[in-house]
Amino acid sequence: MEDELFLNKVVELYQLIYVNDMMLLIDMNNIILFVRQLKDEKQTFCTKWMDQILEDDYLCYDITSVSSYSELNEYIKYGHNRDKEKLPQLNLAMLFGQKGRLPV
């Protein structure tokens, strides 16, 4: 679903690109292939990063939430609020290596 949303944004951007009131001649298929390649490279990097940290470190996990009045952020939702505020919130989780103190 995230890939679909991302590609929709790329299509929207493609449809808005103008130079001197003329649409740039860019092949949409090339844009989609480029975006998919970037996503593949990102996944490969994340996998190697995780393997490196797991080799010689312990993982720490922390969660927190931030209450918000925003009506525009799609990630802000109502749920269990530990502070008993009657506001929607964004829940955040962080996973990092204990020794290296770097995110995973």
Per-residue pLDDT of the chain (104 residues; tens, 9 = 90+): 666 666 666 666 666 555 445 555 556 666 677 777 777 888 888 888 888 888 888 888 999 999 999 888 888 999 888 888 899 999 999 888 888 887 87
Specify the pTM.
0.48
In the chain, which ranges are continuous DSSP H helix?
2-16, 28-56
Cα separation, 74 vs 104, in Å, equals: 24
